[in-house]
Chains A and B, each alone.
Chain A
Amino acid sequence: MDKIVRINMADLSSRIEPVPEEWVGLGGRALTSTIVATEVPPTCHALGPSNKLVFAPGLLSGTAAANSGRLSAGAKSPLTGGIKESNAGGTAAKMLAKLGIKALIVEGVPKEDKWYSVHVTKNALTIQEETETVGKGNYCLVNTVQARFGLPVGVITIGPVGEMKMLSANISVADPESRIRSLGRGGLGAVMGSKKLKFISIDDTGTPPVMPKEAVKFKEAARVFAKTLLDHPVSGQGLPKYGTNVLVNILNEAGGLPTRNFTSGQFAAHDKISGETMYETIVARGGTPTHGCHAGCQIQCSQVYNDKNGKYVTSGFEYETIWGLGANCCIEDLDDIAEADHIMDDIGCDSIETAVMFGVAMEAGVLKFGDGKEMVRLLREEIGKGTPLGRVLGGGAGQVGRIYGVTRVPVVKNQGIPAYDPRAVKGIGVTYAMATMGADHTSGYAIATNILNVGGHVDPLSKTGQIELARNLQIATAAIDSTGMCLFIAFPALDIPECLTSLIDMINARFGINLTGDDVTALGKAVLKLEHKFNLEAGLSKEHDRLPEFFSKETIAPHNAIWDFTPEELDTFWNF
């Protein structure tokens, strides 16, 4: 029987509740956002006792459905001041789903200045004081905790950056190889740190797999679904071979690869950091080009990147990280970027926020553009150790811009703009401006249609059709984020009709219900609207649905593109 688990850090108690009727059809982002919008006062301090940190597996997590193992976390974001959902793979979502935990809600802050851990099993939930792993990085923590239990338990953790409540702090989960995946954006690690919760460990021993209500129907739908992932060239071939970093070259060709803190759309050294180069490097060094972030992932966009001596450096080495430290900071050495990625995973900070921050810090003169060694030092010695400079940098791009008086600060709702220049790829610009999450490419990935010719084509340099595109993608994404599915199923879903119908069939068979495509769209709309309402009540008005001024003042080479949407045009996004 599914249940809601509440942990109250104020008195170190926990309780189990039945799932309220109105939450039964919700999972992942739909559930975290509903709980946050219902129970968290929008004007509360995100690091204070009224905020709640909610973890929820998706509707299909724990089943045999391909790519269904994503874990959502939600809270009020200390970075944006609005609602936040962030998700990642790892083993925790499946384990929580097998334990019947539909949502785990962490409330309150402890009275004493001590750290705690939570351990969840089939029969019990224990809250204990934690000392051994305090101050430790995520890699060491996962090993320590799994050794303590003698099992590959699921682990949800924060690093030192989260302990110090810096706004770039992320939450990490252990992957099947006990390495790190991150729920990156919005500073949710600082919320976990404010609750003095170092980690949650999950032991699903003795629980059966999640059984769909209609097993035969489910199996057939799962087969059709998996086939569409295999048949689409992006999810079946492109992502497994090159990972997401194949995007460096195409964004460079399109003139939309933000370079040198968003002052150009092309990076002269793009080939040194490209997906093609990375693939060859990985293979030559005995790494793994094709790897999944959770057991049921069929697409496997992840990879294992080794150093020159064949020793593991990092996995889940994503385009946005490589763009951010590469083109955006003009660092040409993939090994420096990989080392930085490892450190960010270990100390627990968002690689996108941190990369955008470094671009601003370089413009401010804190370090030089292209200085990969100093960047690695700042991560390890300053941010990781929480020196005064480290705490400035760990507060993200917006904070560094304010402190150093930089005017070219690429953030929306104080969250760093990723990897795609909004002037040269206008659909993603609309997503950045309007997303309830702040600048977040995954909220409505218009790159698919603007650049990659997936789901048709809308000219990236023209305003025509972009608002509708971004709106439709954001609605669809809000729904997909609720299923526990990795967002990359959107590539086949945009081109192959059976992908979406079989996904809905799986949800119906799982719960014995009868959702239609329209119901799923309605769910996506409802999620966006309740997130938007929360943001408005938190004080994020329509004036926050805008890009920074410099995008409409400075053109970007090579197309001399400019951001030219009017406020009135942008506001029509919400007409649905």
Chain B
Amino acid sequence: MKVKLKLFATLQEYLPADSAGGQVMLELPDTATVPDALGALGVPMNLTHILFVNGRHVLRPERETFRLKDGDTLSAFPAIGGG
């Protein structure tokens, strides 16, 4: 299946050099989980603090086993803030 992975802030250093717009399209097995998708680019789970699948938060502890679907968008942020 295909999953869009978007990385932000300091996590962008894990993007392949030829990627554009802070995102990559991943080809993953149909059983892939959130950690599988992040692992595909070598992003350590512990550096991610905020994760969205299709704009909805995926939280601890479910995020460790959360199954992705074909066409999903996974967005990952480190701990950030503002206001």
Contacts and interface: CB of A to CB of B under 8 A. Distances in A.
Contacts of B56: 461
Interface residues of A, number: 43
B48 to A, nearest CB: 10
Nearest to B50: A453
A431 B39 CA distance: 38
B83 A319 contact: yes
Given A250-B8, A271-B21, A276-B8, A238 B79 contact: yes
Contacts of A238: 9, 78-82
A558 B73 CA distance: 13
B47 to A, nearest CB: 10
Contact of A255 (B9, B50, B55): B55
Contacts of B49: 233, 453
B35 interface: no
Contacts of A246: 8-9, 80-82
A89 to B, nearest CB: 14
Contacts of A453: 49-50, 57, 59, 79
A244 B57 contact: no
Contacts of B75: 253
A445 interface: yes
A276 B56 CA distance: 22
B83 A487 contact: yes
| Interface size grouping (class) on chain B | 20 to 34
Given A249-B8, A253-B75, A457-B59, A243 B82 contact: yes
A247 B82 contact: yes
B77 A250 contact: yes
Interface in A432-467: 441-442, 445, 447-448, 451-454, 457, 459-461
- Top 4 nearest A-B pairs by Cβ distance? A244-B82, A233-B79, A234-B81, A238-B80
11 contacts: A237-B78, A239-B81, A242-B9, A250-B50, A253-B6, A253-B77, A254-B52, A319-B83, A442-B83, A452-B50, A457-B57
Interface of B: 6, 8-10, 12, 21-22, 49-50, 52, 55-57, 59, 75, 77-83
Given A238-B79, A239-B82, A491-B81, 5 more contacts: A254-B55, A255-B55, A452-B80, A453-B50, A461-B56
